[in-house]
């Protein structure tokens, strides 16, 4: 059975975990409506995705 020869230092442990943090979601401004939406997601107000009408438009 494999057993570590030495204790992992806090520095090395921190370096390994450096990429584990969560990034904030990025938002882009829609070209037609001007609403903020996630990249590669449907604009829920207009129902458009990639220039096509995917959902029914919401009435405010």
Model confidence over 42-57: pLDDT tens digits?
A: 888 888 888 899 988 7
Rounded distance, CA 50 to CA 42, Å? 8
The percentage of residues in the chain with a pLDDT greater than 90, rounded to a whole number, is: 50
38, 23 in Cβ contact below 8 A? no
Domain chopping of the chain, boundaries: 26-60
Q: Measure the CA–CA gap between 49 and 51, rounded to whole angstroms.
A: 5
User: What are the beta bridge partners of residue 58?
Assistant: none
C-alpha–C-alpha distance, residues 23 and 19, integer Å: 10
Name the average pLDDT for the chain: 89
Question: Residue 58 — very low, low, confident or very high, per pLDDT cuts 50/70/90?
Answer: low
pLDDT band, very low/low/confident/very high, at 9 (cuts 50, 70, 90):
very high
Name the residue with tokens 């992992």. 8
**Please, which pLDDT band fits residue 32 given cuts at 50, 70 and 90?**
confident
């Amino acid at each position: 059975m494999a057993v570590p020869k030495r204790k992992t230092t806090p520095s090395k442990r921190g370096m390994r975990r450096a990429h584990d943090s969560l990034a904030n979601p990025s938002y882009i401004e829609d070209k037609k409506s001007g609403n903020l939406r996630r990249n590669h997601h449907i604009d829920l107000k207009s129902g458009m995705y990639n220039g096509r009408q995917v959902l029914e438009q919401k009435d405010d």
